[in-house]
Structure 1
Amino acid sequence: MTTVREITIGLLRSLGMTRVFGNPGSTELPMFRDFPQDFDYVLGLQEASVLAMADGYAQATRNAALVNLHSSAGVGHAAGNLFTAFKNQAPLVVTAGQQARSILPFEPFLHAERPTEFPRPFVKWACEPARAADVPLAIARAYRIAMTPPFGPCFVSVPVDDWDRPGEAVAARAFAMGNPGDRAALDQLARELRAAKRPALVLGAGVARDRGWDAAIVLAEAQLASVFVAPFAPRNVFPEDHALFQGFLPASRGEIVARLAPHDLVIAVGGPLNLYHTEAEGPHLPPDTALWIIDDNPAMLSWAPGGNAILADSGMALAHLAAAGAPAARPVPASRRSAAPVPVEMSDALVMARIAALRPADAIIVEEAPSSRPAMQKWLPMLRPDSFYTTAGGGLGYALPASVGVALARPGERVIALLGDGSAMYSIQALFSASKAALPISVIVMANRRYEALEHFGRHFGLDRVEGTDLSGLDFRAIGEGHGVPSRRAATPEELDAALAWSFAEAGPTLIEVIVP
């Protein structure tokens, strides 16, 4: 007899999914009976950390990652980062235990009453197979759906007694992906682009997912187009020291219109242009600006408030446009780069500038420091593809565990987890996972002793005082050491440089608590 477990292990091996991210519970244990030597179980100490580790790993490998959670309680713990994975379009196959089928009528301890409903709407597909023999088929289908653009998590609930039941073999099938887009629509856009006087590209995370970095550079240079990063884009999409780079669009209706007003044609590729964080009135685009949107997510194309839309792989579409010919003469856009003096006082700006100066050439930034993001965007440019990751959905508790997943996916490269002190505490347990795997992660905690992003929003809403933002009393050096991660504190520019040099030279994980005013 070939069991469901044996068939599933063979399927996972053929799909390249031999790393399992989990926190084990009682209803999951039979899945790991006789755990294969070529598989790796990555332990997270809380399911939110587990989910984010898998998200980072999936994005960095561009293959679906396997997550194993514990029935309703574990899925509930992971729900915040499941939302983030959905917004990140991270391909995940999430499995969760269920109690044995024979006792489900009696609402047993730690069962899931409606398992396929609980993770919705933040999964693309959810299933609890009707028969034990159908479990491998469900996991195979979950993989294919997760890996079909737009990528995203899928969910399979598995009763505990299914793993030892007989099953039928499931073959891994070739599954081609990538939609080149409607050629006639792309050719029309190419003609409009050549005729435009002041075109602009607004690039989102889909450009990174679809390997469109080089094509974006070729297109921008051929067309002398200004290049912006879309609001809250969670990946880096263009060299931020390039002469055509014009910066980051804010998630503000009026400011987007103001920034794009000089341009008669805007092409938004790989993510939403009109992503807002605060309420406002007025137009979504300048009155004399034409808009085209290219993305692989039909839902995003449907809610965009204007513009012509092309459903396509971002990289393929950019390559098609790049090969479509040069325009008539047009002026070179003015560069936004300035020779502003490097900060010298202890501040988040100084921290970013020193990281930029001292980081290894292969460093990857995984960031969750919302109040320091403007300083990062100004002083810490991302210069090579696939070197920046953050949360697309805005939920906290992602970046520290995601840095573990990225480091596992990119062995030999330095990962810098750049965190706010409030953000760090959401999934601080990930330090344990980094320590156990001896990963080259430099955890840098910007300790301003408060939820500064909320203080900022309090000013936006006219509040004189914002409750619940005081974080004084946290000792990240002690927290890091307590998880097995060597840690230092830096409160002066000299201490900062020494700590960064030490951290970047270490083979394993380190933590620096940076005291910033």
Structure 2
Amino acid sequence: MPATVRDAAFAVLRRFGATTLFANPGSTEITLLTDLPDDFEFVLALHEGSVVGMATGWALAADRPAVAILHTTAGLGNAVGALATARVNRAPLVVLVGQQDRRHLALEPFLAGHRLDDVAAPAPVWVGEPPRPQDVPGALARAWHEARDHRGPALVIVPMDDWLAPAADDEPLPAPARLVRTTAAEPEVVAELEKFLSGAEKPVLVVGAGADDAESWHALEALAQRLRCPVWQEAFGARAGFPQDHPQFAGHLPAGRAELRKVLAGHDAVLAVGAPVFRQYPREPGRLIGPGTRVAVVTDDPDEAHRSPADLAVLARPAAVCGPLAERLPERPAPGGPVGRTIDLPAPPAPGTRLAPDHVFAALARRLPRDAVLVEETPSSRPLLHALVPARAPLGFLSAAMGGLGFAVPAAVGVRMARPDRPVVAVVGDGSSLYAIQALWSAAHYGVGVLVIVLANGRYAIMDELAARHGERSAGRGAAPWPAFDEVSVSGLARSLGCPARRVETPEELESVLDETMPGLAQADRPLVLDVAVAR
């Protein structure tokens, strides 16, 4: 039987080891997915946001592109928010989007996708619409490279009849079979950074998601030791760029300019590594930093380098620069006192006390394995989580850099699938969990041993807080028109999706279930949801 475009496409995916397919299929994908070859693994999610969320977690944990398959207009539209999150989280994804039969697209039949590239914009780093069926395999190969190099979703839009068309065996793929990157830093660049830091009396490091790998952590620890300086994590960072239990780790930068200037006051040189300069949230007037403070940034993200208001920007892999830089710098004298923060865990609450988020985080911090991956989506209590539960290993913390909800639960499932050697815990608010609760079905069906801790207060606490603050500023009452949703049972929803769940209402219950679950979390072969009632 002659080889088809589908056969050639599978061969391309095999070349890159991309044989795990995350999907919520529709009719335009039937010709691709029916009778899938035995060496491909199909992972079903019950909503397209969960498809992309799981693929995002998998890609970030595996550090290579994951493959997501979406239905035409409606499916792609459902996934747009998750695609935007993947773009900001710099997750490499190859996204196959179905399209109606090419032979009657001119008549705009039912399910015809109109301007699908615009539906997804501006999330994709690249969009391919092969002009003929035989160009589909080459578009997939290019998408894999585009996704990996630009760290985001690369889309390939494929009409459903293309898969069964004959392949073009005599034409080369329009993409390299192998692409090699140079990672060494130029000596003169390292010398310039050495001069930047050597001339400073009180330098400080700021680290971010772009430095979350073992080599960068090692280089940054050596650099911090040479400089004897505090190390701050970027605000709203998607990943940790430094061990947060290190004695020189100072905490997370504030996201407003006034507090940022206070934190960096007295430092005459700021070196940001794998982090933006500087991530903000509320709009505040004034300078980012005080006069007399110089800023340099080292990043492998061209966009991050191009938009940074810095005196010096170096576009390079952080480890390749910071390792040689640490070797060139002389070690400074030890400071007179500690430069980092201390973590004081609150005492366990009295028996029968209503749980609060800090109680949950303290109990988790006392038991969380060092190599655990913590996936976070609890907006109202995020600062508490940062203060009490440090990331102690690369990929130890993962969050949605873009800020959209519905990330943590599917991402945690994807992380665990890609890294079954790591314990994975998702900590989410009950409001956040409802945006992608369907991912629990996939976790249960495929035996993914992830622990999901839901802080259940029956409301959007962060929105209530923002409304109250707005009322204070505007001399209003801060009255919010949205109601609470106390009647929603996350544990009930989880069980309805086939996922084991327990309702936890007391400190004794919380400590008991964590003591029971944590020791075997790395070997767990089924998920568990803890629906933890917390005080408002």
State the TM-score, normalizing by the size of structure 2.
0.93
Question: Alpha carbons of 1:338 and 1:298: their partners in 2 closer, same or farther (altered >3 Å)?
Answer: closer
SS, match of residue 392 in structure 1: coil
Matched, 1:39 2:48: no
**1:490 is matched by which residue type in structure 2?**
V
Q: Distance in 2 between matches of 1:305 and 1:323?
A: 27
State the Cα distance separating 1:334 from its structure 2 match. 2.6
What's 1:110 paired with? 111
CA contact (8 A) 1:56 1:402 kept: yes
The 1-side partners of 2:97 and 2:286 are apart by 46
For 1:194 and 1:369, the matched residues in 2 are separated by 40
| Residue 470 of structure 1: how far off its partner (Å) | 1.7
**Structure 1 gap segments, 5+ residues each:** none
Is 1:212 the equivalent of 2:213? no
Structure-2 change in CA distance of 1:373 and 1:343 (3 Å):
farther
Shift of 1:333: 6.0
Q: List gaps (5 residues or longer) in structure 2.
A: 350-354, 472-476
The letter of the residue matching 1:193 is L
Q: Which residue of 2 aligns with 1:364?
A: 373
Cα pair distance change 1:64/1:306, threshold 3 Å: same
Residue 301 (structure 1) shift: 2.0
Separation in structure 2 between the aligned mates of residue 338 and residue 277 of structure 1, nearest angstrom: 26
Amino acid at match of 1:485: C
**1:484 alignment partner AA:** G
Aligned length: 516
Match of 1:278 among 277, 282, 287: 282
Aligned to 1:325: 329
Counting only pairs closer than 5 Å after superposition, residues 59-78 of structure 1 correspond to structure 2 as 59-78=60-79
Q: Specify the alignment match of 2:394 in structure 1.
A: 385
Question: Residue in 1 aligned with 2:358?
Answer: 349
Q: By how many angstroms is 1:425 displaced?
A: 0.1
Q: 2:453·2:529 contact (CA, 8 Å) conserved in 1?
A: yes
1:515 matched to 2:533? The reply is: yes
1:157 matched to which residue of 2?
157
Aligned residue among 421, 434, 441 for 1:412:
421
Tell me the percent identity.
Answer: 37
Is the CA contact (8 Å cut-off) linking 2:214 and 2:394 kept in structure 1? Answer: no
1:452–1:469 Cα contact (<8 Å) kept: no
Secondary structure of the 2:181 match is coil
Alignment partners' CA distance in 1, 2:379 and 2:185: 35
Q: Judge conservation of contact 2:66–2:94 (CA < 8 Å) in 1.
A: yes
CA distance in 1, matches of 2:50, 2:75: 11
| Separation in 2, partners of 1:11, 1:172 | 11
Q: Contact 2:85 / 2:400 at 8 angstroms: preserved in 1?
A: yes
Trace 1:96-495 onto structure 2 (pairs within 5 A).
96-148=97-149, 150-169=150-169, 170=173, 173-177=177-181, 179-208=183-212, 211-329=215-333, 331=335, 334-338=338-342, 340=344, 342-345=346-349, 346-462=355-471, 464-468=478-482, 470-495=484-509
How far apart are 1:230 and its partner, in Å? 0.7
Deviation at 1:341, TM superposition (A): 5.3
CA distance in 1, matches of 2:345, 2:505: 21
Offset of 1:192 from its aligned partner?
2.2
SS in 2 for 1:116: helix
- Deviation sequence 1:48-76 (CA, Å, 0-9, x none): 00001000000100110011000111000
Contact 2:444 2:498 in 1 (8 A): yes
Q: Which residue matches 2:352?
A: none
Pick which of 482-491 and 498-507 moved more: 498-507
State the alpha-carbon separation in 1 of the partners of residues 470 and 314 from structure 2. Answer: 38
- Contact kept, 8 Å, 1:3 with 1:164, in 2: the verdict is yes
**What SS does structure 2 have at the residue aligned with 1:155?**
strand
Structure 1 pair 327–221 and aligned structure 2 pair: CA distance change class (3 A): closer
C-alpha RMSD of matched pairs (Å): 1.7
* Cα distance change on mapping 1:393 and 1:366 into 2, 3 Å: same
Q: Bigger shift: 13-22 or 366-375?
A: 366-375
Contact kept, 8 Å, 1:382 with 1:388, in 2: the verdict is yes
Give the AA of the match of 2:56. D
Residue 410 of structure 1: how far off its partner (Å) = 0.7
